[in-house]
Amino acid sequence: MKKISFILLVLLLSVACEKDADIEIQEMDPVPVIEGKFSNFAPDSFFKITMSKGFERDTYGYRPVIDAQLTVTDSQGHIINFVPGNDSIYRTTSNGIPGETYTLKLIKGNQQLTASSTMPSLVQITDFEFVTETDNDGNTEYKLKLYFDDPQSRTDYYMVQIFYHDYTGFYQLDSDIYFNDYTYDKSEHSLSLSNVYDSGPGDYKVKLFHLNKTYVDYLNTLDRLGNMGYGDSPFQIFVPGNPETNVQGGIGYFATVAFDSLIKHIN
């Protein structure tokens, strides 16, 4: 009897129901989408181009676009061409110059996407090491400590990639790590990351990318967009909308980055 009363009470109070919603959606026409970056080291520069879809998604995946014209022009008018390879990724053989302003132009059919970005200054890695700490369980942890000359005039944003060399070559440990210089130690010219590594001794490569704040904001907003869902609820805590971008006539972001790398053997 108690169980029945409980169930009845729950049913009485649980009166929410669900069904298809009758709402009007404004379908958008497909536009070019660009992702990738142009850096001071040509092999690291790449762009992937796809087309957006309307609300009705009738096929799997987003097929890469390989018939678009993609150029990047510097402030002097020098044109750098990007061409698609066998992997459908657009690449170039030209290095970017830190501090230079570049304009990207993508033409696909009668659609044109443009964007402009100034490559950040090059921040060189002077050294890196792994600092040991002991956790609450008595295990030894290794955290990366990076030595570099952070420009002090403003807040700077970075991304770091850490690679470990095994018999296959260098492979990336962990995902890309984004940070700013809030905890930069001016006396030691260093910054410690909180990520933990346990690969042991060997050859490590660290790549430090200097990024524009607007690019970091774009990535952060994208990250939130990906987690927040896209309906409507009285409890939504993120503001829905598109990330702020430097692209016009399309979607995505034209990122220019300057990076430096250092390879070192760690005992």
Partner 1 sequence: MKHFFVIFLFFILSNIQSQQKFTVSGTVTDAKTGETLMGVNIFVKSNPQKGVVSNYYGYYALNLPAGTYALVFSYLGYKDEEITINLQEDIKRDIKLTPVPETLGEVVVTGKKTKIRNVRSTVLGTHDLQIKRIENLPVLLGEKDILKIIQLLPGVKPAGEGQSGFYVRGGNIDENLILLDEAPVYNASHLLGFFSVFNADVIRDVKLYKGHIPARYGSRLSSVLEMRMKEGNNQKLHGQGGIGLISSHFALEAPIVKDKSSFLISGRRTYVDLLFKAITNDQDINNMGLYFYDLNLKTNWRFNANNRVFLSGYFGRDVFGVKEEESKFGFSWGNATTTLRFNHIFNSRLFSNTSLIFSDYNYLIKLESRDFTEFFFSLGAGIQDLTLKNDFNYYLNDRHKINFGLDITHHTLRPSTFRSSEFNEVLDRLNLINRYAFENALYLSDEYSISNKLKVYYGLRYTNFIHLGGGNFTKYDAQGNEEFTKHYDRWKAVKTFHGLAPRISISYAFDEEQSVKTAFAKTYQFLHLMSNSSSANPTDVWMPSGLNIPAQTSYQASAGYFRNLKDGKLEFSAEIYYKTMHNVVDYKTGTQITLNPEVEKDLLYGQGKAYGLELLFRKKQGRLNGWLSYTLSRSLKQFDGINNGKWFSARQDRIHDISLVMNYRLFPQVDLGLVWVYYTGNAVTFPAGFYQINGHEYPYFTERNGGRMPDYHRLDLSVTLHNKPGKKFRSSWNFALYNAYGRLNPYIIYFREDWEHQSRNLKARQITLFRWVPSITYNFKF
Q: Using CB under 8 A, list all residues that contact partner 1.
A: 2-3, 5-6, 9, 12-13, 15-28, 30, 33, 35, 50, 52-60, 62, 136, 154-155, 183, 194, 213-214, 217, 220-222, 224-226, 229-244, 251-252
The nearer residue to partner 1, 99 or 240, going by C-beta atoms, is 240
CB of 79 to partner 1, least distance (A): 26
The nearer residue to partner 1, 37 or 207, going by C-beta atoms, is 37
Instruction: Give 231: exposed, middle or buried? Use CB within 10 Å, 0-12, 13-18, 19+.
Output: exposed
CB of 143 to partner 1, least distance (A): 12
CB of 16 to partner 1, least distance (A): 5
- With a CB cutoff of 8 Å and minimum separation 6, the contacts of 8 are none
Short-list 84, 63, 81, CA closest to 73: 81
Alpha-carbon span 148 to 259, nearest angstrom:
12
CB of 115 to partner 1, least distance (A): 14
Q: Mapped to the 3 state alphabet, what secondary structure does 128-195 carry?
A: EEEEEEECCCCCEEEEEEEEECCCCCCCCEEEEEEEEEECCEEEEEEEEEEEEHHHCECCCCEEEEEE
The nearer residue to partner 1, 22 or 67, going by C-beta atoms, is 22
Residue 40 CB coordination number (10 Å): 22
**How many residues make up the chain in this entry?**
267
The nearer residue to partner 1, 3 or 265, going by C-beta atoms, is 3
The nearer residue to partner 1, 150 or 204, going by C-beta atoms, is 150
Short-list 182, 197, 180, CA closest to 143: 197
CB of 106 to partner 1, least distance (A): 14
The nearer residue to partner 1, 190 or 204, going by C-beta atoms, is 190
Report CA 78 to chain centroid distance, whole Å. Answer: 27
CB of 202 to partner 1, least distance (A): 28
